[in-house]
Amino acid sequence: MNAGAMTVGDKIIVMAVLVLAASLFFIVPRLLVTDGASIEVCSGKDVKGKFSLNQERRFDVMGPLGKTIIQIKGGRASIVSSPCPNKICVSMGSLGKEGGVLVCVPNEVVVRIGTDRADGLDAVTR
């Protein structure tokens, strides 16, 4: 028997591994993405509330520097205005069901996808 030749059994095992790998490629990301349909807003150490991403709204959160304005629109949340000096939080973009965090460090305001995952994880990175 030639040492480099693949048998029928070897080919079956290779095909099974390839099919399993391809399946996991599509299944695992769906398991890790949050089903967060809400955001949690904190100011300092206090949770100011949970808000649905399905309902468009605009609201104020008070921090040590003043009022930070958060907007929920089109299933996404963003910081649209804040009294911080550099406005980095305003340019952070938006977050949705895929997860993420928006932070205004000087004003101590944090916006994150709701952490009520059934599997106990508080975050998933990609």
pLDDT per residue over 64-109, tens digit each? 999 999 999 998 999 999 999 999 999 999 998 888 899 999 999 9
User: Of 96, 112, 107, 113, which Cα lies nearest the Cα of 69?
Assistant: 107
pTM to 2 decimal places: 0.63
